[in-house]
Amino acid sequence: MKAALIVSVIWTLYTLSYLCNLFFYLGLVIPPTSHRAISSGLICTLVFLLFPAGKGEIGGIFWGKILPILVILTGALYIAIQADALIADGRLVTTPSETVLAALFLASVVEAARRTTGWILVGLILLFFFYAVYSDSFPGFLKSTGFSYTMALGWMYLSGEGVWGMILGIVSTIVAGFIIFGGFLKATGASGFFTDLALALGGSLRGGAAKAAVLASTLFGTISGSTAANVATTGQITIPLMKKTGYEKNYAGAVEAVASLGGMFMPPVMGATAFLIAEFLQISYWEICVAAFLPAVAYYITLLTQVDLEAAKLGLRGLPRKSLPSLKKTLMGGWQYLAPFVLLLFLLGFLRYSPQTSIMYTLAALVVVSSFRKNSRLTPRKLLTALEESASGMVHIIPLCTAIGILVGAIQMTGAATKFTSILLTFSGGDLWVLLPMAGLAAFILGMGMTAVGVYILTVVLLAPALIRAGVEPLAAHMFLFYFGCLSFITPPVAVEAFIAAGISGGSPFKTGFRAMRLGFAAYLVPWVFIFNPGILMIGSWIDALKGFCFVTLGAVTMGAVFEGHVLVSLRWWERGLLTVVAFCVFIPNWAARVPGLVLLVLLVLSQVLRMRRQGAQSAIAENNA
């Protein structure tokens, strides 16, 4: 659609100009609120151009596209022009014309979020908005000061505490910069390079197709803000390859789903939430990347171990070396994709530049180095694709964050977050062993059908204060909720990633989802380590971090062997039971539990070695007799 392409190009070029301060050098001052309105207006317009209201276009083109686009553009333009005056006035009560415009604009924003995210978010937003209006009629602890519709709409639309708040500010600047970088990276051919690199590194190993899938999804996850996009992109190559080499179709889909979920936990993008975590906690983005790195590595080591054990159990071998890309040739032909990442780490970690400045320099470096090779050079067609891909990467983020500003605004107006915190602390009695399961379950439910950004914002606003007041380290609380919120991506009944992977593999979505739960169980266990052993988040000394990482990884790998039923040879039922005990003993940050666990683990491994030798000897005798 030409209109969508035009809007995409306009948004990307405008955002790049804003992030590079081009308007400032031209003598144009665009206030932050104006920028947020412009960015939101253009992306919401793109949503209405690309996403139908339902099956067919309910209500026709006018009601389904033209009218909401006119409302969105008018509402956004009004704020963009009036931003300075509105902030100076501090006015929350709308005029009659502003009331109508605010109501129509907010309704259109919520509809844009529904088309990209689904009904769950819409239901929550409407619930909190009407709670803000009628909170004076609620009983008991739910009772609050009610607000008129004009004041509620004014708070959401005219102030900086509603839809134009901090959340939209982060996603329209820093997140937008990283998404644009990802769009340009894909347009230059990086997706193919990462797949070839994964195949060259792991394809020839035992169960090489599955290991290549894990590596490819990890690499792609560093540039993608969406797990669904990760599954749909890399899964088209990796899932058929896994099936071809002997993996069962549901298992193949599960591997891809779990590997793609890990992209949400692996820096630097983390599904675009890393920047929000930094803003909420008022710490540097680099600290978030450092904190998230070791848990993500533990997650992937566990997954790689499990697919290796499954390959051993099934007797699968690696892919033929001659059918795989050459590692040397792959690196020689794709160094230009890795160089910008090295620069990004240097700018963020060594020079301590801001994420916004760092990503602009990195993007410029990508454009320069990609021009050295013909296959990665940005031709006019590729440039147009990059501009379009960049805007497409934001259609699931900006409308959601604009709409979720209504929910956040309602919470701030009524003090609902404080009330909710008090309720959780009252029910749990402040006991972490009661509070944490409650918070984890609530985060899981809130995450159903949501994006990583959406689930993080919801959980951190509603649940994080209770954990922090109960004595949990703030960073550990945020990471705990983020991990649990993302679990619904692979856990039935929603399991969006499992459904996408099953569509590619031809398997059952529910069987794929339940298999993914077993493969991705580390994501269910690691968040507890954040609470009781926060050293793995680089809180404290590096020795504590390394010790926590080693024991978490060992415990997760041990539990992975239990699920696979194999170490060196197949596990007997009692060995599985003992290994389960070992895994939990190793997880507990107490040497009184860890030492017996380690002793049991050594004994079980020795038992496996002896059994493997006996089986080898018996096989040799059988072959000689034959």
Residue 268: is the preceding peptide bond cis (ω within 30°)?
yes
Q: What is the pLDDT of residue 314?
A: 85
Residue 50 and residue 68 in contact, taking contact as beta carbons nearer than 8 Å: no
Q: What is the pLDDT of residue 209?
A: 84
Q: What is the pLDDT of residue 540?
A: 80
pLDDT digits 0-9 by tens, 129-168: 999 899 888 877 777 788 889 889 988 998 877 899 888 9
**Which residue matches tokens 């896994």?**
242
| Of residues 313, 214, 322, the one with CA closest to residue 566 | 313
Q: Which pair of structure tokens corresponds to residue 54?
A: 């339902």
Burial 90-112 (b: 16+ CB within 10 A, else e): eebebeeebbebbbbbbebbbbb
Q: What is the pLDDT of residue 533?
A: 86
Specify burial of residue 264 (Cβ count, 10 A radius: 0-12, 13-18, 19+): buried
Which mean pLDDT values do the consecutive 10-residue runs of the chain (626 residues) have? 91 96 90 94 95 67 85 95 73 78 95 88 89 85 82 87 89 90 88 85 85 84 72 85 88 92 85 86 90 92 91 84 86 88 87 89 94 89 93 90 90 82 84 90 83 86 91 94 91 86 90 92 89 88 87 91 88 89 87 90 90 76 64
Q: What is the DSSP string of 46-104?
A: HHHHHS-SBSB-TTHHIIIIIHHHHHHHHHHHHHHHHHHHHHHHT--SPPHHHHHHHHH
| Of residues 348, 345, 303, 288, the one with CA closest to residue 482 | 288
Q: What is the pLDDT of residue 625?
A: 64
Residue 359 and residue 218 in contact, taking contact as beta carbons nearer than 8 Å: no
pTM over 0.85: yes
pLDDT digits 0-9 by tens, 254-277: 999 999 998 889 888 787 788 889
Task: Quote the CA–CA distance of 284 and 596 in Å, as a whole number.
Answer: 40
Q: What is the pLDDT of residue 322?
A: 82
Task: Quote the CA–CA distance of 521 and 483 in Å, as a whole number.
Answer: 12
Q: Which pair of structure tokens corresponds to residue 505?
A: 């593999």
Residue 369 and residue 340 in contact, taking contact as beta carbons nearer than 8 Å: yes
Q: What is the pLDDT of residue 626?
A: 57
Q: How many CB atoms lie within 10 A of CB 2?
A: 7
Task: Quote the CA–CA distance of 45 and 23 in Å, as a whole number.
Answer: 23
